[in-house]
Structure 1
Amino acid sequence: MFNNDRLLVLLLLLALLGACLWVLLPFASALFWAAVLAFASWPLMRLLTARLNGRESVAAGLLTAGWVILVAVPLLLFGFNLVDYIRELTGLINTLRLEGLPPPPEWLAGMPLFGDELVDLWRTVDQQGLALFATLKPYLGQVGNWLLARSAKLAGGMLELALSLVLVFFFYRDGPRLERFVQSLLTRLIGERAEHYLELVAATVQRVVNGVIGTAAAQSALALIGFWIAGVPGALLLGLLTFALSLIPMGPPLAWIPATAWLVWQGDYGYAIFLGIWGMFVISGVDNVLKPYLISRGGNLPLVVVLLGVFGGIYAFGFMGLFLGPTLLAVAYSLLSDWVSEARPAELPASPAPRREAGEERVS
């Protein structure tokens, strides 16, 4: 039984731990992403440290600069381009409100079955444009408020990203000491299996990162192909932006939807339809197939568990759930597997058949 002094010390330690968690709570997201980035690229940190003769601070600075170039710079360029897209979209809406729609394109009338109906619909919308804008006017304020809220949330996310890129330097530099601390803590809590579960978490996070980066690379390549075919200017820059936006849920449409709107504004309706279909079913659709496959590849976790971990984790925890979901299910799956294997009774060896003495006859 606890004596009073030991109980008081335990309560004080719990209160101290709760206060520390309360202080770190506003930075939980930034700390999480910094830990994920450092954890996923730790083999590169070891290699770079060895090449630099053990200078960990220099290696940490170089890797942090690499993350800034890879992630922060494309997002910053996207912010500047987004302002231009919004300005062009505002001009398009004002032009449509004052001058109406342009004449219907020739290919629209040539469409089989519905060509004439689509042309009539085009002219009807053009003639009733003022009434249409008057009808939509009460909803424009709501759309503006929604965009303002999403812009504020996006700005907050970019600030968290910048803070995580600062914190990742310290995770790189102090990584070995943090690893020894976590391993000793888990060893004290769960004993000899601590190293096994650390390896399990490491492998799961590594596969998730490979799935996210691999999917982002595939989406950026497909987006680059679509932008080149459609003749969108700055296709390479938009491809890099697609890579950065693929790291967040529903990010790639923020690259190809404005490009599609620009094509509509330029009157290239055929390429606009192509890019819209390409973006919806190819660029954004590959995320639902390639990411779960890459995450489940090379591990003993069933694919259905991976799918539940990815989508359920995103639903429960937001973007952090992309890593937390599969990791939690992997640890739970391993714990249950170990518990079932330990609870299974050992099979008794079969008793050997009695030996027949020499000369003994078989009784019929």
Structure 2
Amino acid sequence: MLNNDRLLVQILLLVLLGACVWVLAPFVSALFWAAVLAFASWPVMRVLTRWLNGNSTLAATLLTVGWMVLVAVPLVCLGFNIADHIREVNVLVHNLQVQGLPAPPQWLGELPLIGDSLLNLWSTLDEQGTALFATIRPYVGQVGNWLLVRSARIGGGMLELALSLVLVFFFYRDGPKLAAFVHSLLHRLIGDRADHYLELVAGTVQRVVNGVIGTAAAQAILAYVGFTIAGIPGALILGLLTFAFSFLMVPPLIWGPAVAWLAWQGQYGMAVFLGIWGMFIISGVDNVLKPYLISRGGNLPLVVVLLGVFGGVLAFGFMGLFLGPTLLAVAYSLLGDWLIKEMPEAAAAETPQVSKGQ
């Protein structure tokens, strides 16, 4: 009877846990990002709490407001930039419909082998511009619907980001209590190895934050500086795109076309400058800073972390940036523990055989 009662209690607990997961499912992503943000910036929270004489609530409030300002200001600037560029594109399309293409640049015809063909193509596009716009007009509605769907997703992402910034306040304020709860839970589940795996997960997340996101932020800032010096329009948008493409390790897809645009405009000096800046400064940061930050402070192989980052993004989306390397790190450590336990037994089993052979 006792066994049946215990089984019933376990079933009820599982049902209760399932119901809790069901309730929290719509907020999993926001909770995840709030937890990662709080964990990554916890040293700042600790220092700020010390400055405020242990007032963790005030420190959490100030830090949360700071994050809101830090995130809101670039987003507002980005919105204004996108609106300006949309107006410029509309004016460009109208001018192309009315006036046609401008005169081809002189250097286009001077290109060896393909110069004459490019001039003929330019003239053909100029003559058939009206027919071309009439041909693509039926697809404009489909493009508008596609943009509407993407805008809805972007709006949902902004709402999720706002919720994360609200939830991060509670992670800051109640962080020690949550850490103690997780620590006690893991101790109940796996015993003395709980401290080891907590340190492993914390170290892996910290290394990914420092290595991947830190490198992306550094590349975005350097790219913005380079675009601003070169006079590239929309430097802020291109800097944010560099931040996004840094996760895929392909920032040249952003600064490369910018170099080509400068050359197209005849600004060869600035094109050479931006090419050198992009090759040795923007991309050089990825080759030097990322491996250093990821490999610092841990004995986990760099290839495991990098595979976890890329595989996690493909498997889980952007959350996989942290889930992927964390899962691989825990699995790697579990295999290491298993081998450590098995090797002495294997060595002990082989010792009598060797003595018999002698």
Task: Name the TM tier (shorter chain).
Answer: 0.7 to 0.9
TM-score by length of 2: 0.83
Of residues 215-224 and 83-92 in structure 1, the stretch that sits farther from structure 2 once superposed is: 215-224
1:112-191 matched pairs, under 5 angstroms:
112-191=112-191
Give 1:62 deviation, angstroms.
Answer: 1.8
* Closer, same or farther: CA 279–83 of 1 in aligned 2, 3 Å: farther
Question: Cα offset for 1:335?
Answer: 0.6
Q: Which amino acid aligns with 1:303?
A: L
> Matched residues in 1 for 2:277 and 2:316: separation?
27
CA contact (8 A) 2:68 2:165 kept: yes
Q: Deviations over 1:96-128 (max 9, x none)?
A: 122211001123223333323222221111111
Q: 2: distance between equivalents of 1:177 and 1:222?
A: 39
Please tell me whether the aligned partners of residues 108 and 119 of structure 2 are also in contact (alpha carbons under 8 angstroms). yes
TM-score by length of 1: 0.82
Return the offset for 1:10: 1.8
Contact 2:200 2:329 in 1 (8 A): yes
User: Conserved in 1, the CA contact under 8 Å of 2:295 and 2:302?
Assistant: yes
Give the whole-Å Cα distance in 1 for the aligned partners of 2:254 and 2:81.
10
Q: 1:11 to 1:275 in 2, by over 3 A?
A: farther
Cα–Cα, structure 1 residues 288 and 224, in superposed 2: closer, same or farther, change >3 Å? closer
**Separation of aligned partners in 2, 1:278 and 1:161:** 36
The aligned residue for residue 345 of structure 1 is 344
Q: 1: distance between equivalents of 2:312 and 2:290?
A: 13
Q: Is the 8 A contact 1:292 1:303 kept in 2?
A: no
- Distance in 1 (CA, whole Å) between partners of 2:66 and 2:17 is 34
8 Å contact kept, 1:248–1:319: no
Seen in structure 2, the aligned counterparts of structure 1 residues 134 and 170 have a Cα distance that, compared at 3 Å, is: same
Query: Aligned partners of 1:138, 1:10: CA distance in 2, in Å?
Result: 61
Answer yes or no: is the 8 Å Cα contact 2:49–2:56 preserved in 1: yes
Which residue is equivalent to 1:205?
A: 205
Once residues 121 and 181 of structure 1 are traced to their aligned partners in structure 2, the CA distance between those partners, rounded to angstroms, is 69
Tell me what 2:355 maps to.
none
Q: Which runs of 4+ in 1 moved over 4 A?
A: 237-261, 269-292
Amino acid of the residue matched to residue 175 of structure 1?
Answer: G
- Give the structure 1 partner of residue 354 of structure 2: none
Q: Distance in 2 between matches of 1:92 and 1:257?
A: 23
**Corresponding residue for residue 356 of structure 2:** none
Count of aligned pairs: 347
Q: Could you say which residue in structure 1 is the equivalent of 2:20?
A: 20
Asked whether the 8 Å contact 1:97–1:133 carries over to 2, the reply is yes
The 1:168/1:317 distance shift into structure 2, 3 A limit, reads: same
Q: CA deviation at 1:283?
A: 9.1
Structure 1 residue 8 displacement after superposition: 2.2
Cα RMSD after superposing both structures: 3.7
User: How far apart are residue 284 of structure 1 and its match?
Assistant: 8.5
AA paired with 2:169?
F
Question: Which residue does 2:86 correspond to in 1?
Answer: 86
Distance 1:138 1:239, change over 3 A: closer
1:268 to 2:265 alignment:
yes
| SS of residue in 2 equivalent to 1:60 | helix
- Structure 2: tracts of 5 or more residues without a match: 352-358
Rg comparison, structure with higher value: 1
1:297 is displaced (CA, Å) by: 3.9
* SS of aligned partner of 2:344: coil
* Aligned CA distance change for structure 1 residues 102 and 238 (closer, same or farther; 3 Å): same
* 1:229-240 equivalence runs, <5 A: 229-232=229-232, 235=235, 237=236
Cα distance 1:97–1:273, how it changes in 2: closer, same or farther (>3 A)? farther
**CA contact 1:74–1:244 (8 Å) conserved in 2:** no
1:303 to partner: Cα distance: 2.5
User: SS of the counterpart of 1:9?
Assistant: helix
